[in-house]
Structure 1
Amino acid sequence: MEKLKRTALFDSYEKYGAKMINFAGWSMPVQFEGIIPEHEAVREKAGLFDVSHMGEVDIMGKDALQFVQNLITNDVSVLEENQILYTPMCYPNGGIVDDIIVYRFNSEHFFLVINAANIEKDIDWMLSNKGSFDVDIKNISSSIIQLAIQGPKAQKILQKLTNTDLREIKFFFCKRNVLVSEKECMVSRTGYTGEDGFEIYTGTENAEYLWDKILETGREEGIKPVGLGARDTLRFEVNLLLYGNELSESITPLEAGIGFFVKLDKKSFIGKDALLKQKKEGLKRKIIGLKMKERGIPRHGYEVFAEDKKIGEVTTGYRSPSLKKNIGLALVDFKYSGLGTEIFVKVRGKLLKAEVVDKKFYKKNYKK
């Protein structure tokens, strides 16, 4: 049996009542108190996530800007120092290698955050596309932990632990060399929940101390430790996509509905020709939002039908904790992607009626 990887916080999970699962080869908490109360804590107060299983890569060197530009579909040339962007990273055929977060420290130093399941694959992909670019690609995942504090009270709680004015960290920006309870950290403001919040990057030696300190400091404000279960329901409600569900090597960014992050006017990048061709010819399938009209929960992998034929599959589906509705995302034939289209989801052998709806099920509450 494969030995699961552990984050630096593994030994702390038990005292907070964590229920563990295998996630992408990592032993991670799926929940502490429970998915619903953790979800509600983030929407109404605050939650703290251990996301140290995510990968971090330093790209440094004279050609760092040009290398990253070629690697991703979005445009890092427009970023200020310490500004951040979200982007797909594609294969030549337009399929997605991964969706990543890129931090620009300066034109010769970029910091990439990649999905836990894709760390080795992504590093290999970067190295195989290094070519003649003068860059150093360094996987620093094992030396860094990442905590995410999310929710309307996140700033109030974290501010008690630092002299840095957190109001100065704008949405999709970061600040380096921030002291959080006297520990040196980098703090950014992006999020994966639809709520305001911060990511805290620091050395693994600070993991347990900061985890305990943040939870202790935020106790009066109602902060809770949050597992991967609520992380998934939170991101899904605000149409933030998950690699392996809505994104994959067989799905393009245009099909996934994240074409905004594909800058086809950029001089060149891996996958540009395929994506230009797809845009010109038109999409054959698309990720849609759906709402059940009959009683049943659409789950990942459930088949979707229309006019007595299979038209696609559910990529993510839940009974939404915030909306109290059974909703989902699905990849379906483009012909059936229009809002209001009647479709059917096969739930436990029965075809149940559903409707195509806007994918933005829940309104984001970021501070911009």
Structure 2
Amino acid sequence: MTHTDLKTTPLCAACEAAGGKMVDFHGWLLPVQFKGILAEHKAVREAAGMFDVSHMGQFFVEGKDAWPFLQYINCNNIKNTLGVGTYSHILTEKGTIIDDAISFCLTPEKFLVVVNAACIDGDFAWFTKQAKNFNVTVRNESADWAMIALQGPKAVETADKVVAGASDLPRFHIKEIELFGARGYMTRTGYTGEDGVEIMLPNNKIVELWAALLAHGVTPCGLGARDVLRLEAGYLLNGADADQTRTPYEANCGWVVKLAKENFVGKEALAAQKAQGLKEKLTAFVLKSAGVPRAGCKIFVGAEEKGTLTSGTYSPLFKGIAVGYAALDVTAGTEVEIEIHGKRVKADTVKTPFYKNRV
């Protein structure tokens, strides 16, 4: 099978050499698995695993109005303290979710914003449009940077062997690093629910990092394990659990909305929705018997259809787990039925995250 029409990361050949089974992920050629999803899941939950996340986007926002601009384009309060990162949602004027992103303060007038791969072009167009009234420059440097996510209870101690000071970096912070003769960035973040770091380097240096981590016994992991891990941790999948038809309130992320801010894109729409109340909300479920729930499966209480799943998988920790948009009367403790391949399977409604680590 050929993938000549897909974009590749600088780690593509290294992933293939490590036994990666390569698939199309939003136009990128990426590994879905190496040794297997269960083995990779186990490595991240018990030791350390690494993911090629070089397809993610990097925007540099710079200028006198860098922080006011990010405050305006994000619904959360962006911290302008040196080295601190803030998770937030970028919204349309209707209050719906364009993307979820993390903004890191490099200096009071320079921020690094990490965005989702499938959203890079749309996000950059939106940033550029909104920046016209601010003294700020937005640069899309996504094509220049590669990134490895090192995750798991032993991830940080392993990172210390390769990058000085990893264990000294607080959670959700960033630091500039020198590695393999190049400047890069290290953040204490991830998408698995475990502790760890994400390391950004120029494209021509990332293979050296991959090789160094392999030499320290880190397990290469693919998209399959990443999806199970992130769902267990209760993280949104952009384009599935969150998109431009849903608001942060509906996506069960009201905590990122700061209506007390002077102004931000989508504020009026969100204030109105909060006043009027929701009709549906992202809700979590655990199957009570065998089955693998998937996006698109219907949710029932008795004969009444109550919603639709947006993400679902088999979890080694919980068996069948899923999230989906359901009516507000489907609350934690409610027994529902999930329709899988025409058969209804009983499930319990629960609160997220399904899994909470020791960090």
Say whether the fold is shared (TM-score over 0.5).
yes
Match of 2:268 in 1: 273
Which among 278, 301, 307 is matched to residue 306 of structure 1?
Answer: 301
Q: Deviations over 1:13-47 (max 9, x none)?
A: 22100101111110111111111100100000000
Shift of 1:333: 1.3
Residue 119 of structure 1 is matched in structure 2 by 120
1:294 pairs with 2:289: yes
What is the match of residue 11 of structure 1? 13
Shift of 1:2: 7.7
> 2:167: which partner in 1?
167
1:82 aligns with 2:83: yes
- Deviation at 1:239? 0.4
Structure 1 residues 145-172: Cα deviation after superposition (integer angstroms, max 9, x where no partner): 111111111122111123x332320001
Matched, 1:109 2:110: yes
Contact 2:16 2:22 in 1 (8 A): no
Deviation at 1:279, TM superposition (A): 1.0
CA contact (8 A) 2:180 2:205 kept: no
- What secondary structure sits across from 1:268 in the alignment? coil
User: Residue deviations 1:161-201, cap 9 Å, x none?
Assistant: 23x3323200011111x234554321110111111100111
Deviation at 1:107, TM superposition (A): 2.3
Give the partner amino acid of 2:355: Y
**Alpha-carbon shift at residue 363 of structure 1 (Å):** 1.2
CA distance in 2, matches of 1:204, 1:334: 46
Find out whether 1:61 has 2:63 as its counterpart.
Answer: yes
Using the alignment, how far apart are the partners of 1:156 and 1:294 within structure 2?
Answer: 38
Determine the structure 2 residue equivalent to 1:206: 205
Q: Distance in 1 between matches of 2:290 and 2:165?
A: 48
Using the TM superposition, give the Cα deviation of residue 8 of structure 1 relative to its aligned residue in structure 2, in angstroms.
0.7
User: How far does the alpha carbon of each residue in 1:123-153 deviate from its partner, in whole angstroms, 9 at most, with x for none?
Assistant: 1111121222111111100110111111111
Distance 1:181 1:324 in 2: 41
Deviation at 1:282, TM superposition (A): 1.2
Amino acid at match of 2:156: Q
Q: Note the 1:103-252 alignment, pairs <5 A.
A: 103-162=104-163, 164-176=164-176, 178-180=177-179, 182-216=181-215, 218-219=216-217, 223-252=218-247
Amino acid at match of 1:204: N
Task: Answer yes or no: is the 8 Å Cα contact 2:338–2:344 preserved in 1.
Answer: yes
**Amino acid of the residue matched to residue 281 of structure 2?**
K
The 3-state SS of whatever aligns with 1:65 is helix
* Structure 1 residue 106, shift from structure 2 partner: 2.0
Q: Deviations over 1:88-111 (max 9, x none)?
A: 111111110000011111221111
Give the Cα–Cα distance (whole angstroms) in 1 for the partners of residues 202 and 273 of structure 2.
43
Q: Give 3-state SS (helix, strand or coil) of 1:211's partner.
A: helix
Inter-partner Cα distance in structure 1 for 2:13 and 2:189:
27
1:304-337: CA deviation from partner (whole Å, max 9, x where unpaired): 122313221111111212x14211111111122x
CA contact (8 A) 1:58 1:139 kept: yes
3-state SS of 2:7 partner: coil
Larger mean CA deviation between 286-295 and 200-209 belongs to 286-295
Residue matched to 2:321: 327
Task: Give, in angstroms, the shift of residue 75 of structure 1.
Answer: 0.7
- Say if 1:161 and 1:181, in contact at 8 Å, map to a contact too: no
Are positions 1:346 and 2:339 aligned together?
Answer: yes
SS of equivalent to 1:251: coil
Conserved? CA contact 1:193–1:231, under 8 Å: yes
- Structure 2: which amino acid aligns with 1:34? G
Whole-angstrom CA distance in 2 between matches of 1:31 and 1:124: 33
Q: Does the 8 Å contact 2:34/2:220 carry over to 1?
A: yes
1:39 maps to amino acid: H
**Secondary structure at 1:129's aligned position in 2?**
helix
Residue in 2 aligned with 1:260?
255
Q: Provide the rounded CA distance (Å) in 2 between the counterparts of 1:165 and 1:317.
A: 37
**Number of residue pairs matched?**
357
Unaligned 5+ segments in structure 1 are: none
Q: TM-score normalized by structure 2?
A: 0.96
Q: Is the 8 A contact 1:194 1:365 kept in 2?
A: no
Alpha-carbon separation, structure 1, partners of 2:161 and 2:127: 39
What amino acid does structure 2 have at the position aligned with 1:247? A
Tell me the TM-score normalized by structure 1: 0.94
Amino acid at match of 1:104: C
Is contact 2:160–2:167 with CA below 8 Å preserved after alignment? no
Indicate conservation of the 8 Å contact 1:73/1:270, yes or no: yes
* Aligned-partner Cα distance in 2 for 1:181–1:39: 29
Report the residue type matching 2:16 in the other structure: E
| Residue 41 of structure 2: aligned partner | 39
The aligned amino acid for 1:160 is K
Counterpart of 1:99 in 2: which secondary structure?
Answer: strand
Work out whether residues 63 and 108 of structure 1, in 8 Å CA contact, stay in contact via their aligned partners in 2. yes
| Structure 2: distance between partners of 1:50 and 1:343 | 37
Q: Quote how far apart the aligned CAs of 1:268 are.
A: 0.5
Ranges of 4+ aligned residues in structure 1 off by more than 6 Å: none
Q: Name structure 2 gaps, 5 residues minimum.
A: none
Aligned to 2:353: 360
CA distance in structure 2 between the partners assigned to 1:31 and 1:2 by the alignment: 20
- Following superposition, the deviation at residue 293 of structure 1 comes to 2.0
